[in-house]
Every structure is written in C-alpha cells, then in structure tokens.
Amino acid sequence: MPLYVYAITRASHPLRLEGAKGVGEAPTEVRAVRVGDLCAVVSEAPEQVGVSRDALTAHHEVQESLWADGAVLPLGFGYVAADEDAVRAVLEERAAAYAQRLDELTGRVEYNVKGVQDEDTLLRAVLTDSEQARALNEATRDGGGTHADRVALGQLVAQEVQARQEALAGQVLDALRPLALAEKLSPPSQQYFVSVSFLLEDDRGEEFTRAGRDLAERLGDGVELRLRGPLPPYSFA
C-alpha cells in the first residue's frame, strides 16, 4: 500500500496525531512507522496527489502539529513511498544522518523573508536620480526619439532597477544575518527582490521579527518586507 510521508522524527516524540487529517479527498488516519529511535509519520496515499489548497493545508497542518511538540524533518509536499517496508528501509539506511539532523534542528525555527518593491515607485526613483534616464525618457515620450533611444532607455532602466534591488537585498541580508544560524537564499525574481529563509534559535524569534519590522521602516515607501514564521525548518531539513 503506498504511503504519503509527512515527516521524520524521533520515536520518543509525543506524536499527538489524534484527529489529524491526511492528504486526499478521503483522508485516512495519520500514523507512525517506527524503526529503532526514529519514526516516519504517514497516511495512506491517495490515488492521485494533486496540488490544491486543501491538500497543501493538510500537509502543513500535520507538520506544524508535530513541530509544536519537538524537532521534525518535514518532507516536501507530495512525497509517496511504495509501502511501509520502503519507509522502514529508508529509516534504517539513513538512521545516523536523520538522527544527527534532528539534533541540529532541536530548538530551532525557520523564518522566511520576502522583499517586494513597488514598480512605479522604483521607476520614478530611477528617472529622478539618473540624468541620462530622464533625458532618454523625455526624448522618447509620446513616440518620439529613435529606436536606438528606446533601446538605450530600456537597457539603462533595467540596469538601474537591478542595481537598486541588489542593494536593497544586501541591506536586508546584512541586517538579519547576525541573528541567524544559517540561511537559504533563493535567486531574485520579478516578484521578489529578495527571498531568503533563516534558521534561528527559537528564543530569538521576537528579536528577529522586531528587527525585520524596524528594517522595513528604514527602507521607506514602496518597499515591503514580508516575514513569515516561526515555521518548521522546511528549508534546512
């Protein structure tokens, strides 16, 4: 029977799973598969594991319920093992590595930080601060200027935007890194100028949140920092 696997934890974990609903349209009981000092938290896998709000919510609720009572190694959404024997085999094969990582994550939490910059505010700042960009913008207004002018304006604005967002990302990292034990930085995207997960000692959560809020105020108008946490250490498991 295929099993959906949520997390790995110690066999001594309280495992308060009563009432927990697994992933799937007809969720089955969430239970533990034990091997020595470790266990995997599983339920029967649905025939198809589709990404939906309900499925993701069920997946994370099981993990967060476990994490509230002790260290866990949360698995990514959609991990399905062939059967219970396959789960046991992995626990046996990786026992030492899993035990070590659980020790390393005990008493630690994850915070995710995403930075968003308002596009209109950013473009106004570029045109205000760059004389060259301002001149090219005036030349190409209302369809004026040459093709070369329009290409040059686009390239210049893109370079300025990238430089400004890299500088903002640097400010965020410089301000928050000293509070963290480790970080996982994602590549910048069109949506976020910075997207990073930090691993913290759990007693530094309030300090970290306060530092993030203070930083957001200093970054000024048009910049938003989105802090999410405390979370199970998804990025560090």
Please list the pLDDT of the chain residue by residue as tens digits (237 residues): 899 999 999 999 999 988 788 888 877 889 999 999 999 999 998 888 777 888 899 999 999 999 989 999 999 898 999 999 999 999 999 999 999 999 999 999 999 999 998 877 767 776 666 666 666 666 566 666 666 756 665 676 677 777 888 888 999 999 999 999 999 999 878 789 999 999 999 999 999 999 999 999 998 788 899 999 999 888 998
130 touches 137 (CB < 8 A)? no
Q: Are residues 114 and 93 in the same domain?
A: no
Q: Are residues 116 and 85 in the same domain?
A: no
Q: Are residues 161 and 86 in the same domain?
A: no
Instruction: Give whole-number Cα distances, 136 to 112, 121, 145, 150, 160, in Å.
Output: 39, 19, 8, 7, 14
**Which amino acid is residue 124, in one-letter code?**
R
Q: Are residues 31 and 118 in the same domain?
A: no
Q: Are residues 137 and 165 in the same domain?
A: yes
- DSSP letter for each residue of 117-152: E-HHHHHHHHHHH-HHHHHHHHHHGGG-S-HHHHHH
Domain that holds residue 224: 109-236
Give the angle subtended at the CA of 119 by the CAs of 116 and 123, to the nearest 5°: 130
Instruction: Give whole-number Cα distances, 117 to 127, 161, 186, 195, in Å.
Output: 16, 10, 17, 12
Q: Are residues 45 and 136 in the same domain?
A: no
**Which amino acid is residue 48, in one-letter code?**
Q
Q: Are residues 152 and 199 in the same domain?
A: yes
Q: Are residues 113 and 162 in the same domain?
A: yes
123 touches 157 (CB < 8 A)? yes
Alpha helices in the chain (DSSP H): 53-67, 84-93, 95-105, 119-129, 131-140, 147-176, 205-219
Q: What pTM does this model have? A: 0.79
